[in-house]
């Protein structure tokens, strides 16, 4: 009898990830993927630290294209992160540029989340929950899963809000307005 159970599991287990991917694709289908050459918008960000009573607030603009991702903070202090051709450049308020190592994967992922690139999202996340306006994702790969406990995308037809919950209790709320 145990041989039949093991044989049945061998046939079912390889198919389970396909169900998971399909469920994730269906959950993400609520967001309209804009295939235009470039998408731009504004953002407001609140970063909540366990050790601080008030969040740190910032705001700025973003631009996403096939070849480049630009995250420009305008206040409280000017700073721009530009990811292009696999290189991440930080430009500070003095216009001083510095190449940053190791953060390009995170910005690539942020770009994929903002533009709802299902295939890239599926590489790093499993579907955790779906509510009326939000899709909750659990990271399952490498450093991402070590930092983030949950990533939530909310909105009607585009991602209007991105919530990043960290294992250490910190949280980042990003509100997006596409132009």
For position 173, what pLDDT does the model report? 97
| φ/ψ (deg, to 5) at 102 | 90, -15
pTM of the predicted model as reported, rounded to 2 decimal places? 0.81
DSSP states of 9-22:
HHHHGGGHHHHHHH
pLDDT tens digits, one per residue of 101-159: 877 677 778 888 888 888 889 888 999 999 989 999 999 877 788 889 999 999 988 99
Q: Are 152 and 27 in contact (CB under 8 A)?
A: no
CA torsion sign for 131, 33, 120, 118 is positive
Give the number of C-alpha atoms closer than 13 A to the C-alpha of residue 96, restricted to the C-beta side.
3
Q: Where are the domains of the chain?
A: 21-28+38-178
pLDDT tens digits, one per residue of 58-107: 999 999 888 889 999 999 999 999 988 888 899 999 999 999 887 767 77
pLDDT tens digits, one per residue of 11-39: 333 333 444 478 888 888 888 766 667 88
Alpha-carbon span 117 to 167, nearest angstrom: 25
For position 36, what pLDDT does the model report? 66
The CATH number, out of the four listed (3.40.50.300, 3.40.190.10, 2.50.20.10, 3.40.47.10), of the domain defined by the range 21-28+38-178? 2.50.20.10
């Amino acid at each position: 009898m145990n041989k039949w159970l093991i044989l049945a599991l061998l046939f079912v287990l390889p198919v389970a990830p396909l169900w998971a991917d399909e469920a994730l694709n269906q959950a993400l289908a609520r967001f309209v993927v804009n295939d235009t050459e470039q998408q731009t918008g504004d953002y407001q960000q609140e970063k909540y630290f366990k050790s601080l009573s008030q969040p740190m607030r910032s705001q700025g603009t973003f631009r996403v294209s096939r070849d480049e991702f630009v995250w420009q903070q305008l206040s409280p202090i000017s700073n721009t992160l530009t990811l292009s051709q696999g290189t991440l450049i930080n430009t500070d308020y003095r216009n001083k540029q510095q190449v940053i190592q190791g953060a390009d994967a995170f910005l690539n992922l942020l770009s994929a989340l903002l533009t709802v690139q299902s295939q890239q999202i599926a590489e790093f996340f499993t579907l955790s929950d779906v509510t009326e306006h939000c899709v909750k994702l659990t990271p399952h790969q490498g450093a991402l899963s070590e930092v983030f406990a949950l990533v939530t995308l909310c909105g009607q037809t585009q991602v209007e809000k991105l919530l990043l919950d960290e294992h250490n209790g910190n949280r980042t709320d990003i509100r997006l307005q596409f132009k």
